[in-house]
Amino acid sequence: MTTVKHVLDKKGRDVHSIHPDASVFDALKRMAESNIGSLIVLEGDKLVGIITERHYSREIALKGRTSPATLVRDIMSTRVMFARPEQSVEECMAVMTARAVRHLPVLEN
Amino acid sequence: MTTVKHVLDKKGRDVHSIHPDASVFDALKRMAESNIGSLIVLEGDKLVGIITERHYSREIALKGRTSPATLVRDIMSTRVMFARPEQSVEECMAVMTARAVRHLPVLEN
C-alpha cells in the first residue's frame, strides 16, 4: 500500500503558502515561480484556506475582477480538505473525487 | 486492466472545444459553464491545440495581458498529447507524469 508519506518522501516536503491579504496577482506569481497550481493560505501559523488556479479561472475575469485588485481571502476556499501521512493514495484519490478537489495539503498531528 | 474506453463509458464522451480566434475570456466562460479545466482547440475539423486553466494562470495577468484582449491561439499548446481508447489508465498516467500534462484528449483512428 502506497501511503501519503511515501509520496512525500519522493516529492519533497516544501510547502508553499501565502497570506490571505496578499493579492491574487502575487499568488499567481508565487505559483508560477514554484511551478505549482495551489498555495495554502496562512495567517501566522494558522491554516485559513487554500487558493488554486481553479479559483483564479472562475473568480477573477468572469466576475469582472482583476488579480492585482483582488485579495486572496476573497476567492480562497476556507473549507480545506486534507490528508494524513499514514493515509493511502487510494483513500486520497477517493476523497479528491468525492469532493471534487485536486489538492490535499498533508497535516500531521 | 482499466482502459481509457472504460473511463469514457462512465464519464461520457462530450468533447468541449473552442476556435483558436476566440478570446481567452470566452474560453474561460465555456470551461466554467461545463465545469471543466480545459478545451480542445478546433479549426474546422482540425485539432490545432489545447487550452487549459494552467495557460490562463501563467500567460495572462503575469504577462500583462487581459483575457478579453487575448486570443486562444496566443496561449494554447499546439503540441497536444493524446490517448487512444484501448490504452490503459496506467499508461495515461505515466504519459501525464512524464510530460507534465493533466489533460489527454482521446483520439480514435
pLDDT per residue over A24-59, tens digit each? 999 999 999 999 999 999 999 999 999 999 999 999
Which burial class, exposed, middle or buried, applies to A41 when counting CB atoms under 10 A from its CB (0-12, 13-18, 19+)? Answer: buried
**Distance in Å from the first CA to the final CA of chain B:** 22
Chain B residue with minimum CA distance to A24: B61
pLDDT value of residue A100: 87
Spans of chain B, pLDDT less than 50: none
Residues of A in contact with B37 (CB under 8 A): 54, 57
Please check the confidence at residue A1 and state whether its pLDDT lies above 90.
Answer: no
Band of pLDDT at residue A66, cut at 50, 70 and 90: very high
Chain B residue with minimum CA distance to A26: B62
**Mean pLDDT value of segment A82-109:** 92
> Is the Cβ–Cβ distance between A55 and A77 less than 8 Å?
yes
pLDDT value of residue A48: 96
pLDDT value of residue B100: 87
CA dihedral A32, A34, A39, A41 (to 10 degrees): -110
Chain A residue with minimum CA distance to B37: A54
Q: Is B37 on the interface with A (CB under 8 A)?
A: yes
Q: Is A72 on the interface with B (CB under 8 A)?
A: no
Write the ipTM.
0.85
Out of A25, A32, A53, whose CB is closest to B53?
A53
Q: Is B77 on the interface with A (CB under 8 A)?
A: no
pLDDT value of residue A39: 97
Q: Mean pLDDT in chain B? A: 94
Please check the confidence at residue A109 and state whether its pLDDT lies above 80.
Answer: no
pTM of the model: 0.89
DSSP three-state, residue A96: helix
pLDDT value of residue A11: 86
Q: Mean pLDDT in chain A? A: 94
Band of pLDDT at residue A108, cut at 50, 70 and 90: confident
pLDDT value of residue A63: 96
pLDDT value of residue B1: 86
